[in-house]
Amino acid sequence: MVWTLGELAERVSAELHGDADCRIERVATLAAAGPGDISFLSNTRYRKYLKQTRASAVILATEELSLCPVNALVMENPYLGYAHIAGLLYPGPETASPGVAASACIDESADISASACISDNVVIGPRCVVGENTYIGAGTVLGEHVHVGHDCYLHPNVVLCHDVIVGNKVILHPGVVIGSDGFGMANDAGRWVNIPQVGSVIISDNVQIGSNSTVDRGAIEDTFIGAGVRIDNLVQVGHNVNIGEDTAIAGCVGISGSTSIGRRCMIGGAAGLGGHLNICDDVIITGFSMVTKSVTRPGVYSSGIPLLENLKWRKNVARFQHLEDLYRRLAEVEKKLQE
């Protein structure tokens, strides 16, 4: 796609400084950009590349404008502007024409919109519903009584188990599994007895789930993913989890069963959340954190030990093992001082 800088400025409500007729074809970093590219500056650590950039234009904030040697789009949030402009320049793969591939296997009771595209080797079970303009990628499987809304994009090899409900404008990347059994079992004298997982999964509108992530079905009630949620690759969502609107979860996060996460939260990569917890709205949990208690106040929360040289780390671990003894000795000293 090719846009003029004036057209882009109008589409993202940016203040234009420079040639409105400048043609923009691609996005690029400040350091690597050339003619026809648009770049952005949202992090001051990259300011050193601005003066030498060869980009045709840069998206930036007002305070950076005096340093910019090329055309500029001034916005309060340059990174958001970049996101919108990148979406205009790279609208994504064109969905194939509506229709059903000859190799697809579709139960006669399924209700498939005439505008949907069903790719090769797709399997759609009894009483499924697929909405208008939805794309179902090759090798995807829909179990019995699955409902997929309109304008969804299911990449290849997605699995939606029985009774799953997917809203509108949902994107599921390759390898996503929705509605597999939750990790529920009872112990009988050292042997495990599976508990039937009779709930389902409800995914609201405008949700995106990354490759090879899994969302387990509820044990009794449903697992629920709120509107606008973003889930990265390799995330495990346990049974009966509830994730609020517009929450973002980075890769390799594990969320144990029956935990409720509020709206607009951000959970960093590889964080682990215990079961039966409540995380309120507007909470940020940094990467590799271990969450064992509910969080009742908005804010930024962290745990874990940052990377150290191995020798320092080993010394710190050794000292940590004596923490209880040091605490007791300090308490005794304080008591004697008070006396």
Which of these, 80, 73, 79, 75, lies nearest to 42 by C-alpha position? 79
Tokens of 312: 């320092």
Domain tally, the chain: 3
Residues 199 and 58 placed together within one structural domain of the fold = no
Following DSSP, what letter does each residue of 140-179 receive, concatenated? -EE-TT-EE-TT-EE-TT-EE-TT-EE-SS-EE-TT-EEE
pLDDT at 11 (0 to 100): 97
Residues 222 and 120 placed together within one structural domain of the fold = yes
**Residue where the block lists tokens 């992530």:** 213
Given the DSSP bridges, would you call strands 23-24 and 3-4 parallel, antiparallel or unpaired?
A: antiparallel
Residues 19 and 105 placed together within one structural domain of the fold = no
Residues 181 and 74 placed together within one structural domain of the fold = no
Q: Among 89, 124, 155, which residue terminates a domain?
A: 89
Residues 27 and 81 placed together within one structural domain of the fold = yes
CA 54, 57, 59, 64 torsion-angle sign:
positive
Q: Which of 213-244 are b and which e, b meaning 16 or more Cβ less than 10 Å from the residue's Cβ?
A: bbbbbbbeebbbbbbbbbbbbbbbbbbbbbbb
Q: Among 57, 89, 121, which residue terminates a domain?
A: 89
Contacts of range 221-228, beta carbons closer than 8 Å, 24 or more positions apart: 223/182, 223/199, 225/201, 226/263, 227/167, 228/204
Residues 316 and 241 placed together within one structural domain of the fold = no
pLDDT at 137 (0 to 100): 97
pLDDT at 234 (0 to 100): 98
pLDDT at 92 (0 to 100): 79
Q: Residue 200's domain spans which residues? A: 99-301
Residues 254 and 132 placed together within one structural domain of the fold = yes
* CATH code of the domain covering residue 169: 2.160.10.10
Residues 153 and 67 placed together within one structural domain of the fold = no
Residues 134 and 256 placed together within one structural domain of the fold = yes
User: In the annotation, is 239 catalytic?
Assistant: yes
Q: Which of 147, 239, 276, 322 is catalytic?
A: 239
User: What is the distance, to the nearest Å, from the Cα of residue 175 to the centroid of all Cα atoms in its chain?
Assistant: 15
Rounded Cα–Cα distance for residues 25 and 57 (Å):
11
Q: Among 89, 111, 141, which residue terminates a domain?
A: 89
Residue 94 domain-assigned (yes or no): no
Which of these, 37, 77, 76, lies nearest to 55 by C-alpha position? 37
Q: How far is CA 181 from CA 240, 243, 245, in A?
A: 11, 18, 24
Rounded Cα–Cα distance for residues 312 and 305 (Å):
12
Indicate whether this model's pTM tops 0.75: yes
**Residue where the block lists tokens 């990790």:** 183
Average pLDDT along the chain, 339 residues, taken 10 residues at a time: 96 98 97 97 96 97 97 97 96 84 98 97 98 97 98 98 98 98 96 97 98 97 98 98 98 98 98 98 97 98 92 93 94 93
Rounded Cα–Cα distance for residues 238 and 28 (Å):
38
